[in-house]
Structure 1
Amino acid sequence: MATPDLAHLDRLSSMLDSRFRLPGTNMRFGWDTIVGLVPGVGDAVMLVPAGYLMFQAYRMGARKRTLARMALNTGLDTTVGAIPLLGDLFDMAFKSNNRNVAILRKEIERRGTGPAPTRR
């Protein structure tokens, strides 16, 4: 199985966090916010694509520190997102998946050599 490139992960995070615009505003949201509206299971379901992003970061050679920051963002999003209404508003503003891809991009740029050999 080939490792997705950063552009693929960026498209996925945009779909999850900023795919749609609230009419009449500049506020953006994605499937993470929409699915998160389902009480009890929405935020748990959205752990799957967030975990996929972190797994691909691992396969791309991200350091443990980078993976820990990504996990912290995802954990915060899931924990606060579980609070009715307030969590949904937080989810629209925080955009953990976009943050995680930005962290991964910075990691790759720090290396300056492009993606590391993939881990299996």
Structure 2
Amino acid sequence: MSGNDQIELKFRLFDGTDIGPNKFDSSTSVGSIKETILARWPAGKEITPKSINDVKLINAGRVLENNQTIAESRMSVGELPGAVITMHAVVRTPVVDKSNDKHSAKIAKSNRCECAIL
């Protein structure tokens, strides 16, 4: 496959809506594709990614890495020439800061009633 092949991709979001289809060069990195997804993310969604690291792209059951190109990451099984490839775009949930979480739990415990019934 040459580096200038055009691949048509569509991205399915968690709620079933789609972004695209858009044509990308096969040498385009997954990170660049995620930037395009962020730029075209529908307004008004309850869950919105803040950076490309908040988005996971899944193609044929595989999570794609930001440093891979489309050509390196796509699977040829089941793809028809000229067909639109649908990838799932999943928003990663933010990682909970353990130190902040312990502080919140400590505050919640201190606000409880500590009466003893005899």
What is the TM-score normalised by the length of structure 1? 0.31
More strand by share: 2
Structure whose residues are more often helix by fraction: 1
Query: Which structure has the larger Rg over C-alpha atoms?
Result: 2
TM-score by length of 2: 0.31
